[in-house]
Structure 1
Amino acid sequence: MTSLNKMLNVLNIFGPDSLVINVDDIAKKLSLSRATAYRYVRELCDAGLLTRFDKNYTLGPKIIELDWMMRQYNPIISQGHEIMAQLSKSTELTVYMSMFCDGHIINTHIESDNKEYTLAFGRGRALPIFKGAQSKVLVANQKAFRLKKIYDEHIAQNEDYDMTWDQFNTETKRIRRNGFCVTHNELNNLSLTGIAAPIFNLENNEIIGSVAFLGTASEFEPTSLVVLVEHLKQATSAIERCAN
């Protein structure tokens, strides 16, 4: 891990139970000397990624600026949100765009009138690495060496998963072969169905995101799976052309 990665790892300490942190927290959780922890804090504050709060630190305003820049200038999101809006309107389903980042699955854009789904799986919230259609289609389409790394680091020793490498490898192959993924009730026990398809970089054929439908069984009833998958693939193809 590079020094930059170690420094940015400070941001991963924040969470629902860690709204503010101090140098001792950073040193302990990242196994750093206090001198190194102080240096990281100083540089992150200078960059606007942290803000001093009394003797503690909280997330800084630069993060909000970066979020705005991503929505405006990331071609997948800036070009894809209109396509997703049309998709949600025509199907009356919630539509998610998600990306794989640093071992996490992140929802980057949502088109929906359903506030319950938005709250439960909000934009920017990390999802389980291999649960739910978005996560599974993003993981399944990683390169072979990355798949083994994901399994070893996130699946093998995680009690939430009961999968051998062979089982994991077989499932990811099936998802790649199908070109989409369907899951039922894998996230938060809300009895929701997800259908996701990958977005690829047309220059190197690497996966760069996914688009997914999310809804209850009754919401999916008016339209067949075949038709919904075709809608998704048309949407992802349109986003790929816009983004490349």
Structure 2
Amino acid sequence: MSSITKLLSILDLFSQARPFLSVEDVAAELDCSAPTAYRYVRELVDAGLLVRFAGGDYGLGPRIIKLDYHLRMSDPLLAVGQPIMRELSEHAGFDVVMSRWYGYELVDTHRETHDAALDLRYGRGRPRPLFLGAAPKAILCTFPKAKLAVLFDQYPDEIAQGGLGATLDEFRASLLKIRRAGFYLSRDELENGISAIASPLFTDDSGEAVGALALIVPTQRLEFANLDRLVESIQEASARTSQRTRAVIESRGTGAVASSHAASRARRSA
């Protein structure tokens, strides 16, 4: 592991259960000397990524908040999706959540709230289980076989506990059914009393989803809801978000190419 990787890995040591760390904690976790740990921590403090408290412990710094703001402002999927999610929430009468798949983590990036009394266990930035609930299954069903094989090698127990099969063939078969349906309905999978209907989100034409939109429905209300209408609504919102996001990304790429060509012409004329 390189020095920069070790340094940045310190940020992963913080959690809701462990919001503060000492230099000794960092040294123990990284299996390095106290002077090395102190040097790493000091560099993160200088960068604003950590802050030192009076007792000598360290916590996440203000730069994290600024980076989160820039991420929210620069993410085209989020920028495009927010008004569509708001419209869907108002029309359907339920909360709408956007989830994103990052490497081997799934996190919620935005929630449009219709029922303020609905207390969800997971929120923006808190990693969710990869194989439980509507959002991950709506995403996983679009992954290529090779990627699913890698996931199965790493998480066979979690996949089985998520009801997706005890073998790789069963895993693929379960996801193929979801893919053919174009959505996934979970009932009390992630939280008791909470159901969700999710549809995948795409940012290019690869066919591999990067996230999902989900309608969050209290399970007791699901039997009285028009399920077909809800499925149609979430699929339409996901498709519209995906299409508009691709257009934004493509326009950015076209603009960058045009700027590059203009710069080249300027250099030649000079």
User: Please, what TM-score do these two structures have when normalized by structure 1?
Assistant: 0.87
5 Å-filtered alignment, 1:83-232, equals 83-156=84-157, 163-166=165-168, 167-189=170-192, 191-232=193-234
Aligned to 1:50: 50
Structure 1 residues without counterparts, runs of 5 or longer: none
**In the superposition, relative to structure 1, how do residues 188 and 157 fare at CA in structure 2: closer, same or farther (>3 Å)?**
closer
Equivalenced residues, count: 243
Identity between Structure 1 and Structure 2 (%)? 34
Deviating 4+ runs (over 6 angstroms): none
Bigger Rg, structure 1 or 2: 2
Check whether the contact 2:131–2:159 (CA below 8 A) recurs between aligned residues: no
TM-superposition CA deviations, 1:154-189 (whole Å, max 9, x none): 343789557423332222222222221111101132
8 Å Cα contact 2:188/2:219 also seen in 1: no
Deviates more, 1:113-122 or 1:128-137: 113-122
What amino acid is aligned across from residue 220 of structure 1 in structure 2? L
Question: Equivalents in 2 of 1:107, 1:139: separation in Å?
Answer: 16
User: Could you say which residue in structure 2 is the equivalent of 1:25?
Assistant: 25
Q: Taking structure 1 as reference, are residues 118 and 68 closer, same or farther at Cα in structure 2, changes over 3 Å only?
A: farther
Q: What's the RMSD between the two structures over aligned residues?
A: 2.5
For structure 1, which segment, 38-47 or 179-188, has the greater mean C-alpha deviation from structure 2 after superposition? Answer: 38-47
Which shows bigger deviation, 158-167 or 34-43? Answer: 158-167
Distance 2:57 2:160 in 1: 34
Query: Cα distance 1:5–1:97, how it changes in 2: closer, same or farther (>3 A)?
Result: farther
| CA distance in 2 between partners of 1:222 and 1:90 (Å) | 16
Q: Secondary structure at the match of 1:44?
A: helix
Distance 1:117 1:29 in 2: 37
- Native 8 Å contact 2:90 2:114 kept in 1: no
TM-superposed CA distance for 1:36, in Å, is 4.5
Aligned-partner Cα distance in 1 for 2:117–2:14: 24
Deviations 1:44-90 (A, max 9, x none): 22332211224221011111111111222211111110000000000
Over 3 Å counting, the alpha-carbon distance change for 1:165 and 1:117 in structure 2 is: farther
Is the Cα contact below 8 Å between 2:105 and 2:128 reproduced in 1?
A: yes
What code does the residue aligned with 2:176 have?
K
Secondary structure at 1:95 match in 2: strand
Q: Deviations over 1:103-153 (max 9, x none)?
A: 221010001132344542222222111101012222332333332222232
Structure 2 SS opposite 1:198: strand
SS of alignment partner, residue 241 of structure 1: helix
Distance 1:44 1:155 in 2: 36
Q: Distance in 1 between matches of 2:113 and 2:88?
A: 10
Partner Cα distance (1:235, 1:52) in 2? 44
Distance (Å, rounded) in 2 between the aligned partners of 1:62 and 1:228: 40
How far apart in 1 are the matches of 2:171 and 2:20? 38
Residue 222 of structure 1: CA displacement? 5.0
Unaligned runs of 5+ in 2: 247-270
Query: 1:28: Cα distance to partner?
Result: 2.5
Work out the CA distance in 1 between the residues paired with 2:112 and 2:242: 18
- CA displacement at 1:204 relative to structure 2: 3.1
Structure 2 residue identity aligned to 1:45:
V
Q: For structure 1, which segment, 223-232 or 157-166, has the greater mean C-alpha deviation from structure 2 after superposition?
A: 157-166
Shift in Å at residue 3 of structure 1? 5.1
Give the letter for the 1:18 counterpart: R
Partner in structure 2 of residue 15 of structure 1: 15
Deviation at 1:232, TM superposition (A): 1.3
Q: Normalization by structure 2: what TM-score?
A: 0.79
